[in-house]
Amino acid sequence: MTSPLNVAIIGMGTVGGGVAQILTEHSERCARRSGRSIHIAKAVVRDLSKPRGIDLPDGVLTDDVQSVIDDPNIDVAIQLMGGTDPARQVMLSLLEAGKDVVTANKALLCDHGPELFEKARELGRCIAFEAAVAGGIPIIEAVSQSMSGNQITSIQAILNGTCNYILTEMLKRSASYGDILSEAQELGYAEADPAMDVEGTDAAQKLVILCQLAFGKRVSLSDFPTQGIDSLELADLKYAAELGYRIKLLAVAQLVGDSLELHVEPKLVHSDEPIAKTDGPLNIVALNGDAVGPTWYAGAGAGKMPTASAVVADLMDVVIGRAQLTFPLMSVWGDTGPQVRPPEEITRRYYLRFNVDDRPHVLADITDILGRNEISIASVIQHEAPEATGGETRSVPLVIMTHTTTEGRIRMADSELSQLDSIKAPRIRLPVLD
């Protein structure tokens, strides 16, 4: 066996601790499978006094990231810093110092991927990033290697376990969004500030990386709409179930002719579909290839050990030399590829929910507006509401399923519907995945 590979872990939070745990507790297995022992030479932390829950030799822990950059004996850096600043400059410095990099930082690759990949190729280094998307699911390998004989035609994915857990538990227990969010925070599924998750940004960052791998198209978050789950109510989940659907926060990239449709939003998914059956904090990615047809990849999309597992798998690829061979061939962050289709041109069916005054002509007013915008109604649900008291006009829920129409027409109709005094907030509009 050759000399040990010296590794530095930059960021010893949840995932970093998991990586260190695997490399120390299963060192013999890692050495046997890679043909080389792996030695943690440095572990960079912000607070040296904080307990880590793992025994590392004296001198390994440091709060000086520059000591890693300047150390010529460190072969690979596992960069697990969050955010983009100073993570961007640290990664550039690591590459310039001649080190290959393994990272799980999706935000960094989403915002600065083109610059970082070009720099790595220029310097003859590699960046391995399996853990940046869908945690323990080997989806980067699937898209970039296993599907290389195909033109991928669509990606449909649950990429955020926090949102999937919340939606699952709301329906299962007839609980409110706020109650389940609080529970998810207590269980560690959601951050203290859950905005990145529940507003859809986390899933959108992952979609940027996936669609650039699959379609060779450089895109950014500003190129497509993102909507989270924070405006959904239990009523929507129950109505969807009554109609034979489940609501899931989906990240979608789909080739339509010579254009690419991109969006992250809650969608109604038929309850028989594998995506609809993926519950709790699990993730699933459905890839469709022109040769292989539909394929599914499911598993733990986040968490300490699933993500650490993906990081270590990337590290093993670097040790073996596989990553250095595959990285230059990845069609990532290219300048070619299909044009992103304007959102208003996207066609699909819609679920609409209103709270309306229970009086004559309200439904006629709504159908008139939909008709003027060339939107055809497929079905209507209106359950009887309790009698109002005190002479007030009671409000009743009204659910409409449309036939296929464009996002542009739905937006115009929604603007007109907002002017009707008979419709009370909120107005919910969700697309259907067909």
Catalytic residues: 206
377 strand-pairing partners: 402
Task: List residues bridging with 270 in a β-sheet.
Answer: 245
Is the bond preceding 86 in cis, omega lying within 30 degrees of 0? yes
189, 186, 196: which is closest to 168 by C-alpha?
A: 189
Half-sphere exposure of 281 (CA within 13 A, CB side): 18
Q: Is 5 left (phi over 0), alpha (psi -120 to 50) or beta?
A: beta
- SS3 label, residue 175: coil
Cα–Cα distances in angstroms (integers) from residue 44 to residues 7, 27, 306, in the given order:
11, 20, 21
- Whether the ω angle into residue 426 lies within 30 degrees of 0, i.e. cis, is yes
Residue 96, CA distances (Å) to 7, 235, 334, 422 in order:
16, 54, 22, 63
Number of H helices, E strands in the chain: 15, 18
Query: Which of 136, 91, 141 lies closest to 113 in space, CA to CA?
Result: 91
CA distance 36 to 315: 12
Burial 111-135 (b: 16+ CB within 10 A, else e): bbbbebbebbbeeebbbbbbbbbbb
